[in-house]
Amino acid sequence: MPREVWRTLFDNALEGMLLAMPNGNIVAANAVACRMLGRTEADLQKLAREDLTVMDDAASAFFDRRDREGRSRGRLTLRRADGSTLTADASSTIVDAPEGTRVHVRLVDVTEDARERRTLEILAKAGRVLGESLDIKETLQRLLSLVVPELADIAAVDLLESAESHRFVVAHRDPTSQAELVKEELARASTLGTKSYVSVPLIARGRTLGALTLASTGGVPAYDEHGLELATALAHRAALAVDNAFTHAAALQATRLRDDVLEIVSHDLKNPLNTIKLSAGSLARHSDAEEIPVLRRAVERAERLIKDLLLVAKMDLAKISLDRGPTSVRAILDGVVALHEGAAAAKSLALVSTVEGQLDVVVDRHRVAQMLDNLVANAIQITESGSVELRARAVGPSLVIEVKDTGPGIAPDVLPHVFDRFWQSAHAGRASAGLGLAIARGIAQAHGGDITIETAIGRGTTFTASLPIAPT
């Protein structure tokens, strides 16, 4: 092909074109390549390969393959005259020309596509990292480990506390510099060689929680509008994670405070209750006043309430202790029926129990009895006529115990709240604190089981407790 024709095609190509020596020195560049690289052809001819190309692993592999096979294709990171970089889809071919061996290079600027893909990858990684823990410091340290060195040479998160900002976590490309950075205020960060930085606020639910700062000391390109957008997107995700962590920490603190109050109140109530119980016993020996049984029942009810409150506190912390041992299901049910037959008879209710086969299980007998006590007491309380039935059987590896009543049933709108603490049926009045069903389910779950409900308005309710026959 005549040189004039080749040069015309070369200059008018829609893609960037370079002609170079085997050592990388550029001989010719078309207008598209010059615009792409922000340099004139004469400027390009003065550059060595290392001046124009970021010699990372991808570039080394690209040139090694070209030298071995005579051609290569891949992505290169190239430097513009202003110091910024671009990502180019490059193909390079060694050709024989009248002047000797030359290298023909075709360049297509894919910076925006590469940026978009890289942005999505980074944000996806950040989402995973920020969702792995509810510990604020650990979460943010993991985020900065992702940011450095991929997006920044230096990164820090400052959080607001009592209207004052303090540096919470920090990361540096050179780990030995982290201690130095902690002591540096951003305004004096030039001592660390900072050439460019971006700082964006951490905002969640309209509240500013702090700021994320990314800085370049030359290891990563200077920040532009794209860098600001990416930092803002990361800050948004980090702010949500910090807000969630703060909320979780506050909830834990509130739970601890509540449990401390419950234990203190319960402990302090026992002393006056014991005094009342002893006084009632002393009075009973010298008097047959009608008020004495009333006092004793009031004390017993208060003691049960204290125990329930303490057990609810333990349920939150997964601390319900179990003393498991082999026991007869029949013995448990007989004990529950004996305890409640008086209350059932007072309402003319039939209270019956059935055990299919000889069932022996390994459970905490007293806890399971307490679970059934609560379920049966609830059934008797809400049932005005008919019966309350207990039925136990083995289903595979599970013990299934049903407590079925002929009461009014549970309305669909309140069914999701039946196991809530302090929930009471509209038919129960104020006879209890509303902890019985919550405790029953907590005991079942402590054994590795659960309680489910089947109900129909006007046709009664069945609570079904499923427990492992043996510990797993």
| pLDDT value at residue 162 | 60
| pLDDT value at residue 257 | 73
Give the C-alpha separation, 78 to 86, whole Å: 5
Structural domain count of the chain: 4
CATH of the domain at 95: 3.30.450.20
Q: Considering Cα of 42, then 46, then 52, then 53, what sign does the dihedral take?
A: positive
| pLDDT value at residue 423 | 61
Same domain, 125 and 170: yes
Domain boundary among 263, 297, 316: 316
Same domain, 339 and 427: yes
Same domain, 92 and 11: yes
Q: Which domain holds residue 362?
A: 325-468
Both tokens of residue 151? 């997006």
Domain boundary among 228, 247, 266: 247
Compute how many other C-beta atoms are within 10 angstroms of the C-beta atom of residue 29: 26
CATH of the domain at 299: 1.10.287.130
pTM: 0.47
| pLDDT value at residue 284 | 77
CA contacts within 13 A on the Cβ side of 92: 26
| pLDDT value at residue 112 | 74
Same domain, 361 and 264: no
Same domain, 16 and 104: yes
Same domain, 199 and 278: no
| pLDDT value at residue 187 | 45
| pLDDT value at residue 328 | 94
Give the C-alpha separation, 122 to 145, whole Å: 12
CATH of the domain at 128: 3.30.450.40
Same domain, 134 and 78: no
Same domain, 346 and 439: yes
Same domain, 357 and 384: yes
The pairing of beta strand 71-79 with beta strand 85-97:
antiparallel
| pLDDT value at residue 160 | 83
Same domain, 100 and 215: no
CA contacts within 13 A on the Cβ side of 161: 8
Give the C-alpha separation, 157 to 166, whole Å: 9
Same domain, 92 and 56: yes
Give the C-alpha separation, 300 to 140, whole Å: 52
C-alpha of 354 from chain center: 45
pLDDT in tens, the chain (472 residues): 566 666 787 888 888 999 999 888 999 999 999 999 999 999 999 998 889 998 988 999 999 999 999 999 999 999 988 878 888 999 999 988 777 888 999 998 887 777 777 778 888 888 888 887 788 888 888 888 888 877 888 888 888 876 555 656 666 665 544 434 333 434 444 445 667 888 889 999 888 888 888 888 877 777 888 888 888 989 898 889 888 888 888 877 877 776 777 667 666 676 677 777 777 777 777 777 767 777 776 777 677 767 776 676 666 545 677 889 999 999 999 999 988 888 899 999 999 999 998 899 999 998 899 899 889 989 999 999 999 999 999 999 999 999 999 999 999 988 888 888 766 655 554 445 567 888 899 899 989 999 999 999 999 999 999 999 988 6
Give the C-alpha separation, 312 to 435, whole Å: 8
Same domain, 337 and 462: yes
User: Residue by residue, what is the 3-state secondary structure of the chain?
Assistant: CCHHHHHHHHHCCCCEEEEECCCCCEEEECHHHHHHHCCCHHHHHCCCHHHHECCCHHHHHHHHHHHHHCEEEEEEEEECCCCCEEEEEEEEEEEEECCEEEEEEEEEECHHHHHHHHHHHHHHHHHHHHCCCCCHHHHHHHHHHHHHHHCCCEEEEEEEECCEEEEEEEEECCHHHHHHHHHCCHHHHHHHCCCEEEEEEEEECCEEEEEEEEEECCCCCCCCHHHHHHHHHHHHHHHHHHHHHHHHHHHHHHHHHHHHHHHHHHHHHHHHHHHHHHHHHHHHHHCCCCHHHHHHHHHHHHHHHHHHHHHHHHHHCCCCCCCCEEEEHHHHHHHHHHHHHHHHHHCCCEEEEEECCCCEEEECHHHHHHHHHHHHHHHHHHCCCCEEEEEEEEECCEEEEEEEECCCCCCCCCHHHCCCCCCCCCCCCCCCCCCHHHHHHHHHHHCCCEEEEEEECCCEEEEEEEEECCCC
| pLDDT value at residue 195 | 72
Domain boundary among 271, 292, 316: 316
